[in-house]
Amino acid sequence: MSANESAESITAGARPTLRKPPVLETVFGRETSAIDKYRAVFVGRGGLGALLRFELITGIAGSMPGALGLWLRKISYPKLLARSGRGVVWGRNVALRHPGRITVGERVAVDDHCLLDARGAGEEGIRIGDDTLIARDTIIQAKASWIRVGGRCVIGSQCQLSSAGGIEIGQAVMIAGQCYIGGGRYYTDDPAVPMRDQGAYAKGPVVIEDDVWIGAGVVVQDGVRIGRGSVIGAGMVVREDVPPMTIAVAHQRLVCLPRS
């Protein structure tokens, strides 16, 4: 969750609260069997057949190296998804959570060690458009809402899309490595109650319009809209809307002083 930089006080009463899937309660609860817990966290769909299909495909093809592994994933991973287009390339050790809520377009490439987690996405799920690249070690995680990525996008390595209030990325968007997009924030009203127990909320969805270029290491917080054709400089923390066709850079200067 992104910290609320102004430490604003949220008035008590009928306030919106995110409903995130309770991971620890699901894993350690005593009401269900170990198989049911595993299925709830990883597979999503009910039934023994769905569980066996998930285990066989991810267990055999998921980590297999070389051309054989690529081919096996290409023909088997679509069987787990809600829908998959033609020509999708899956790297090694791509982790899928609730794949039945994931839709992938045509000619999409998902590099090694990525995570696509639709557990909290609801019926909207995770949708990835045609001709999109998701680079190595990237996490796309629907914690409490949907994620939509348009066509012809590039998401760089080690990025994290963490959806609390929804994430919508337009067409032909470029996101450099190590960016964080989304998140939410915790209520902080009562100092006597741990913040994690007070509930979380989001200011709204992140919307990144078409033809946006986001530099390396950028943080885009919940509720922000970045307008079409804008450029966001490396290292920015974007807390407010960016108008279309705008270059946004951090206001800072390089200070050079002699050592002696």
Q: Which domains does the chain have, with CATH numbers?
A: 23-248 (2.160.10.10)
pLDDT at 194: 94
Sign of the Cα torsion 74, 76, 77, 79 reads positive
Q: For 19-52, how does the pLDDT look when each residue is reduced to its tens digit (9 = 90+)?
A: 766 665 666 666 677 888 888 889 987 788 899 9
pLDDT at 102: 98
Side chain identity, residue 174: M
Write out residues in the chain with pLDDT < 50, as ranges. Answer: 1-13
Q: For 143-160, how does the pLDDT look when each residue is reduced to its tens digit (9 = 90+)?
A: 999 999 999 999 999 999
